[in-house]
Structure 1
């Protein structure tokens, strides 16, 4: 799981990976020997495949979300 998180961080911080096509990113993950679940999730676009990578734990969205709304001056 730690390798998957590190790879996700690397993808997020590298624009060439972040905006790579599915095929390109899948090839990069295969060369980096990423887990089968992670590679399958990228190849299929089905993020539910990552559930097995994270021991079936559900990942929930944060309950607090910051928004920057302009106040109405009227």
Structure 2
């Protein structure tokens, strides 16, 4: 198996910081605070960014439907 250091990121859940460099093939891995995995936001601050992103997606979807709900030419039946 080959690991591509350019595509690989590092995230820790340590509260006091992480100061050790991890290297792959001599290249230092980038340390990130959040990333997207299978469409979900994984963040070191918990689930708040994921919840806010889902609320924004729902709000956008409802805004697109508002014109249909307000259309008087569509019969309820």
TM-score by length of 2: 0.21
Larger helix proportion of the pair: 1
Larger strand proportion of the pair: 2
TM-score by length of 1: 0.22
